[in-house]
Amino acid sequence: MSTPAISLPLSLPQPPAALRRPSSAAASTATRHVSSHALLAGARELVIQHQGGEYHLRLTRNDKLILTK
């Protein structure tokens, strides 16, 4: 008695594009880079509105950035 041959797929099916993780090249191009000088435009403080809350981005005397709620 012979055993029937089993056929296996050569590659696994790919998930839909919406579920795939972006490649590292795509992820790096999706991240925006903005200078603090462009954000603050000469001011020492910027208010960022996010999900109904306000966040304050402040430039200190030592040229450090502090983000507070």
In CATH, the architecture of 35-69 is Ribbon (2.10)
If one counts every other C-beta atom within 10 angstroms of the C-beta of residue 52, the result is: 5
Q: Measure the CA–CA gap between 65 and 58, rounded to whole angstroms.
A: 6
Q: Measure the CA–CA gap between 32 and 39, rounded to whole angstroms.
A: 13
Residue 59 has pLDDT above 70, yes or no: yes
pLDDT in tens, 3-57: 566 665 566 566 666 566 666 665 567 899 999 999 999 999 999 999 999 999 9
Give the length of the chain.
69
Domain range summary for the chain, segments of one domain joined by +: 35-69
pTM of the model: 0.55
In degrees, rounded to 5, the angle at the alpha carbon of residue 53 between the alpha carbons of residues 51 and 55 is: 115
